[in-house]
Structure 1
């Protein structure tokens, strides 16, 4: 993930809906490491299928969120609220304020292929696209490379709008579930960030923030709603069962993880929806 080594291990998974191709996946994720390896930025987003170009918007959101967190790294603020609104303003500048330009290119490309925008698509373009977002900035507790104990401790600060979730696991047990605390928190109308919403104050007011500290062996999972609901619906998560199961599946790689997702769908234990997962672990040695 860069020229510098880091005691953080990162895995990324995207599994489209059953019957959909990877190109049709409307979930998105992005991860970036700071040049000095002292910070890691990650985000996942779930595009709302009811809106046109939802997958494209989700991809722009995660790229914008990671870039906004990186830009804010070290800039600080006067408090949690000011940092949140500053982040939102920068995010909107990188995404919402660029959306009209993207739409113009999209329309030109469609016309060049002999498939111009139809009359029934135009209202969708005018309304814009929508998606959820959860993003996290993880920072080393110490920048001193000789401080080996601090090198394995990291602080994290997260931002969320909607029902994409962050889970903090310790030995497979759930420490933090953000922004939804239990399986009953998933509804049919989550908060969404729209590609034409330029009201940074309103978005900041609707969003949630959380923070915590990671120790050696801890994990952060960033997931979209289908996998998040699965995790929170398993009572054994408190004893480490579900968390450890996800970890073991992730260790086995993309193909096994995708097969497991499909098996859970086939058993009606997971909704047939796109799945995005970023798994971040603090290494216990090396």
Structure 2
């Protein structure tokens, strides 16, 4: 695929990516993916659809393409990624039922964020969300803004060319960011939980205090699941500007 030259992010950024699978599932069963290119100011998150075939491969392809400088939603890039997905998941010795599922294709949400000296820009399909936090206050959340908007059927990026991404399904926006602000990319379970808590209390849960390492994040998620967080793969990418 053709990749434009990656720009340099002049801001001194810091990033933490944390993920944990569903309860009673192993890391290899986690269908979320996140990627970063801190030098270029590129960060991406994708949540593979649970009912889709090899969704973890598709979500990884989408995020890796974005942080490499490509636009995974551009028609030429998307076509190349679809071919890559088929090549990675195909094998001659697959069982017939596995081949049938692969024939149905895969799907995932997508969230890409570009940070530079002027602020940040967001491109999103589906219900993985960006939270812009400044001094512990929520400045912006997108593409969903209310926890009641989440459903079992988000918009998705599909591997099948029969399912293109309509322009109206692509959310784009952004804004300025001050030094010390945080841009938190979160897959749907975490995003919904944060928005619900913010709606009920006016404050976000202290998730940013629990990203020091994977163990801290896993404990935060386990505790949150006892207080309403849905049992789903949970992934965040926090960017400190």
Distance 1:59 1:203 in 2: 21
SS of the aligned residue for 2:96 comes to coil
Q: Is the CA contact (8 Å cut-off) linking 2:46 and 2:187 kept in structure 1? A: yes
Q: What stretches of structure 1 of length at least 5 have no aligned partner?
A: 73-85, 112-116, 142-154
Distance 1:23 1:203 in 2: 31
1:249 to 210, 213, 219: 210
Q: What stretches of structure 2 of length at least 5 have no aligned partner?
A: 1-8
SS of the aligned residue for 1:235 comes to helix
SS of the aligned residue for 1:184 comes to helix
CA-CA distance at 1:199 after TM superposition: 6.5
Q: Which residue of 2 aligns with 1:209?
A: 172
1:31 to 36, 59, 69: 36
Distance 1:197 1:65 in 2: 19
RMSD (Å), alpha carbons: 2.2
* Compared CA separation, residues 269 and 228, structure 1 to 2 (3 A): same
Q: Is the CA contact (8 Å cut-off) linking 2:33 and 2:46 kept in structure 1? A: yes
TM-score, normalised to structure 2, is: 0.88
* Compared CA separation, residues 204 and 242, structure 1 to 2 (3 A): same
Higher Cα Rg, which structure: 1
Q: Which residues of 2 match residues 1-286 of structure 1 at below 5 A?
A: 7-33=12-38, 37=39, 39-67=40-68, 70-71=69-70, 88-104=74-90, 107-108=91-92, 111=93, 117-141=94-118, 155-197=119-161, 202-235=165-198, 239=202, 241-242=203-204, 245-250=206-211, 252-265=212-225, 267-282=226-241
CA-CA distance at 1:139 after TM superposition: 1.3
Q: Is the CA contact (8 Å cut-off) linking 1:64 and 1:94 kept in structure 2? A: no
CA-CA distance at 1:120 after TM superposition: 2.1
Q: Is the CA contact (8 Å cut-off) linking 1:173 and 1:237 kept in structure 2? A: no
TM-score, normalised to structure 1, is: 0.75
Distance 1:253 1:99 in 2: 31
CA-CA distance at 1:60 after TM superposition: 1.1
Distance 2:157 2:187 in 1: 14
CA-CA distance at 1:203 after TM superposition: 3.5
Deviations 1:65-108 (A, max 9, x none): 222xx247xxxxxxxxxxxxx9523540441132332233xx14
Which deviates more from structure 2 when the two are superposed, residues 186-195 or residues 87-96? 87-96
SS of the aligned residue for 2:63 comes to helix
* Compared CA separation, residues 182 and 128, structure 1 to 2 (3 A): same
* Compared CA separation, residues 139 and 276, structure 1 to 2 (3 A): same
Distance 1:195 1:27 in 2: 16
Distance 1:53 1:218 in 2: 35
CA-CA distance at 1:209 after TM superposition: 0.6
Give the total of aligned pairs. Answer: 233
Moved over 4 A (4+): 236-239
Q: Is the CA contact (8 Å cut-off) linking 2:48 and 2:55 kept in structure 1? A: yes
SS of the aligned residue for 1:163 comes to coil
